[in-house]
Structure 1
Amino acid sequence: MSTLKYLNEEGAGQQNSDQFHYSQVVILGDIVKCAGQGGWDTTGALDANDIEGQVDLAFQNVDRVLQAAGLRGWEDVYSVRSYHVDMDASFQLVVDRSKKRIPDHRPIWTCIGVTRLALPDMLIEIEVEAYAKKA
């Protein structure tokens, strides 16, 4: 069995790891599992009044975490779970960002409406799994 390897990206990822006692990513052989990424900036700040900005930042944070694990980013993702506090406000934004970010790639996706996320100002959280190709 492969050894588990846990990582955090610098900035908000490491800050969240230290504060809340979890890792941003775990590598299980060829599989990389990414913890849910919210719409925080690199300092960890969230704008509770900007759902579009949070969706954009969540997509960027997924890229940042996957790249910290040595992957390309969204191109390597095969599974997505998104959690939406306001499905009406954020669903189409996620669809649009997915089409723009990975136009020729369609990972499986589970989209879940929730009443609240871990941090009070979080409006979106995106969790992914990716495949780390071995050369």
Structure 2
Amino acid sequence: MKTTKFVTIAIALTVAISIASCNEKTKANTTVETSEPIESAAPDETPEYFMLRPEVEKAYGYSHAVKIGNDIKISGAVSMDNEGNPTAIGDMEQQMKNCYADLEKILNHYGCTFDDVVVENVFTTNMSKFLEVAAYRAEIYKKQFPAGSWLGVTELAVPEFMIEIEMEVHKKN
């Protein structure tokens, strides 16, 4: 019985301290109104869309990149020509290099480099072939590798595509 009372008192005391702590945080976060406007340091939140191959992207229904503030989301790049035809068919390494060449064009459009990439996700229909050539990424990422995932998939948008690479970027001010 004494143990139950002690546990009940301990729980009540913990709850009381937590509530008091929350109240202190609320008081500390209370804003004071002033008559002078405060300049916002927040980046522009209006989405900026970019199309690398406008006709192909319109036909498939996507934008290759969208920038909101300092963050850029880049759709998966595949190995294709300007008309949307697959290139380097059957050649994983060349398809990967073609993906990175397109991704670099998008990064350059926004004044970024691969050093600004914070997430890279690779989708491949042949993981073993990708692993054979994945070391090429060290030529792309000279400072550090981004976070990301490598995913084996059954198929991509067009049967000849063996790899697709998407990215998230944080542009430094």
1:35-93 deviations in Å (ceiling 9; x for gaps): 0001224443323221111011011111112222x132312101010001000001242
Match in the other structure for 2:92: 51
Q: Which has the higher helix share?
A: 2
1:15-26 matched pairs, under 5 angstroms: 15-26=55-66
For normalisation by structure 2, the TM-score amounts to: 0.69
Unpaired stretches in structure 2, ≥5 consecutive residues: 1-43
Deviation at 1:100, TM superposition (A): 1.0
Q: Secondary structure at the match of 2:168?
A: strand
Unpaired stretches in structure 1, ≥5 consecutive residues: none
Check if 1:108 corresponds to 2:147.
Answer: yes
Which structure has the bigger radius of gyration?
2
Alignment partners' CA distance in 1, 2:80 and 2:97: 10
Amino acid at match of 2:172: K
Q: Which has the higher strand share?
A: 1
Aligned residues: 129
For normalisation by structure 1, the TM-score amounts to: 0.87
Alignment partners' CA distance in 2, 1:58 and 1:120: 16
1:110-125 matched pairs, under 5 angstroms: 110-125=149-164
Match in the other structure for 2:123: 83
Which stretches of structure 1, 4 residues or more, deviate above 4 A after TM superposition? none
RMSD: 1.6
Amino acid at match of 1:61: D
Match in the other structure for 1:8: 51
Match in the other structure for 2:105: 64
CA contact (8 A) 2:115 2:143 kept: no
Alignment partners' CA distance in 2, 1:92 and 1:132: 31
CA contact (8 A) 2:56 2:83 kept: no
Return closer, same or farther for 1:93/1:15 CA change in 2, 3 Å cut-off. Answer: farther
